Structure 1
Amino acid sequence: MMVSQTQPAPQPQPKKGLSLTREQMCAAQEMFKTANKVTRPEKALIPGFMAGSRENSCQEQDDIIHIKLSEHMEVLDKADCTGSTTMLADTVFEMNYATGQWTRLKKYKPITNVS
């Protein structure tokens, strides 16, 4: 008679007790409210980083990771006050794994018309 033994499934390691402060939770919710470019894995990575996780899952990249949150058109006044121009605005979440700092950046690009 043969008896097969199965090993129990490995227990997941408990998370390191990371949690967001109320202020961080509000900041994350505000960011994601208008985010139209962020992927699901990126959306999970951001609150973890904000809470203190420093496991860089993108180690092939630098210590500074940029995640594109949103992209939309914005009408901006021209610097010479001669009217306005429409620009493509990218909102980016920057995580610095070396320092633990994070920030949101807005980058503007001119819109090129394709004829």
Structure 2
Amino acid sequence: MKTDIRNIDDIKIFVDDFYYKVQQDELIGPIFDNAIQDWPTHLDKMYKFWNAALFGVPGFKGNPFAKHAPLPIQKNHFERWLELFQQTIDHFFSGEIAEDCKHRSELMASMFLTRLENMRGGADKVII
């Protein structure tokens, strides 16, 4: 029986598995491989990010949007990211925190995509 996400050890399970899937993915894998030079450091940052997001534990420092803004990512990339992320959570966990984690991933993807579209002008905007 699956348990809920309870602590940093559980976070490490889903972060490690998720980013393994990302690296193997034909659509988003190359983007991550080009952007991330040091995977252990990135994974450690993601452990801290999710520990802060889910449990309020201090330790994460950074600006995730600024890291994503220069990347060649669009809606289909966010959709694939979400698909892999939520499959990973569902594979290992079940419960209130797991659902909150998936919900937060949806909010982040939506917010990042909206900000990127606005920053880049979007299809319905003219930038002079």
TM-score, length-normalised on structure 1?
A: 0.32
TM-score, length-normalised on structure 2?
A: 0.30
Between Structure 1 and Structure 2, the one with more helix by share is: 2
Highest RCO, 1 vs 2 (Cα 8 Å, sep ≥ 6): 2
Instruction: Indicate the structure (1 or 2) with the bigger Cα radius of gyration.
Output: 1
